[in-house]
Amino acid sequence: MLEQYKLSMPKAVFSGSNAIEQIETIVNGYYRKVAVFTDKGIRHSGVIDEPLAILNRCNTEIVILDDLPAEPTYLEAQSVVDDFKKSGADFIIAIGGGSVMDMAKLASIACTGSYTIKDLLADPLLGKKLVKTLMIPTTAGTGSEATPNSIVTVPEQNLKVGIVNAELIADYVILDGRMIRKLPKKIAAATGIDALAHAIECYTSNKANPFSNMFAMEALKLIFANIIPACVDAGAEQEKNNMLLAAFYAGVAITASGTTGVHALSYPLGGRYHIPHGVSNAIMLLPVLKYNKEVCLEEFSSVYDMVAGPDQHSREEKADWILGQIHSMIDRLEIPVSLKTFGIGEADLNDLVHDAMEVKRLLANNKREITPEDARKLYLEIM
């Protein structure tokens, strides 16, 4: 565990009944023109109708940027930033999932024109907050509303890369369960498992500390209790609200700690084969957690005590129960966990291993070293 640690959070987080109404408190009278970042799917679903109605009561002009791609490349993200610069807006509201929020966050630090997204890939700390942001997540999983991270694909490397800079942390966050009530099961499941990965990776990371552990453990408690009904029952309003909180808590844990081998090995699956981020994490989650088990017995046992209650079972038994519960979650949510489902076979192993070993920032967080040969074996397990 780190001897020195730090916690960074948004300036203000609004949650609870009718939290979306706080848009007016944040915006009214303070900003001349608001840019709303979203995507066409969310816009057509009607999810943004209520936020837009609230904005229309405010003394501000509105521009909607909805031509935002899922899982963007750095060049696509740059195009979005360029569109934002042309808008002349002086405040950003992101209403969407991880990709929407990530691009909005990048726009808030890259609209100066003196550096590009490509420059930030080389030196993330170039970025300085230029425009304040409000994040309103429409999925309960990525935690982007809380993190200092923005993820982009680098096609030249067939890899997803995180641009990490505290300046990316949102100024305001609104967590309102109504924003995820229409979320399809497939997306709810993938993003929910993404939140689970964030929480348990941060709790078992080499950078784990009292701050990250507090938020990661609370996230895990909420996820274990709520993820299944939140994903499969359209009317499970309280469970959906709880998952929204869990995703935020897990995002806060990332700011204080960091993800590990699961994300390191999943990034090539997204970057090279365009598997959605939550699904790629679900694919790698159990193999890496099982690989780490021998050095994480204490952590897994603590998670067991939190979600099941302390008892006389051994640490080994508690760890196996936790891993079994995660397996059951992924199975019940019908998330594919074989690389063959995506046309990936042994002929692709060398490329996968090469790309994964480039994610040094996250591999360094993993408590058990992952060598190229270890990575090869982990990928083989799911072929």
pLDDT digits (tens, 9 = 90+) for 132-164: 999 999 999 999 999 999 999 999 988 889 999
- Please compute the mean of the pLDDT values over residues 91-109 and round it to a whole number: 97
For the 12-180 domain, the top CATH level (class) is alpha beta
Among 213-217, 232-236, 333-337, name the one with the lowest average pLDDT: 232-236
Locate 315 and state its tokens.
């640490």
Q: Are 312 and 299 in contact (CB under 8 A)?
A: no
Confidence of residue 3 (pLDDT cuts 50, 70, 90): confident
CA angle at 192 for the pair 189 and 196, rounded to the nearest 5° = 135
Q: Where in the chain are all domains bearing CATH 1.20.1090.10?
A: 185-381
Mean residue pLDDT of the chain comes to 95
Question: SS3 of 91, please?
Answer: strand
CA angle at 318 for the pair 316 and 322, rounded to the nearest 5° = 115
Report how far residue 230's alpha carbon sits from residue 226's, in angstroms, rounded to the nearest whole number.
6
Question: SS3 of 61, please?
Answer: strand
Q: Where in the chain are all domains bearing CATH 3.40.50.1970?
A: 12-180
Q: What is the pLDDT of residue 31?
A: 96
Closest CA to 127 of 140, 139, 138, 114: 114
pLDDT digits (tens, 9 = 90+) for 82-98: 999 999 999 999 999 99
Q: What is the pLDDT of residue 119?
A: 97
Q: Are 244 and 140 in contact (CB under 8 A)?
A: yes
pTM of the model: 0.95
Strands 91-96 and 61-65: unpaired
pLDDT digits (tens, 9 = 90+) for 357-372: 999 999 999 999 999 9
Confidence of residue 6 (pLDDT cuts 50, 70, 90): confident
Dihedral angle over CA of 73, 76, 80, 83, nearest 10: 160
**pLDDT higher than threshold 70 for residue 14:** yes
Q: What is the pLDDT of residue 59?
A: 87
DSSP H helical segments within 127-171, as ranges?
none
Query: Burial of 167 by CB count in 10 Å (0-12 exposed, 13-18 middle, 19+ buried)?
Result: middle
- Please compute the mean of the pLDDT values over residues 204-213 and round it to a whole number: 97
Q: What topology is assigned to 185-381 in CATH?
A: Dehydroquinate synthase-like, alpha domain (1.20.1090)
Closest CA to 145 of 97, 110, 215: 97
Which residues lie closer than 8 Å to 308 by C-beta, 6 or more apart?
318, 321
**pLDDT higher than threshold 70 for residue 1:** no
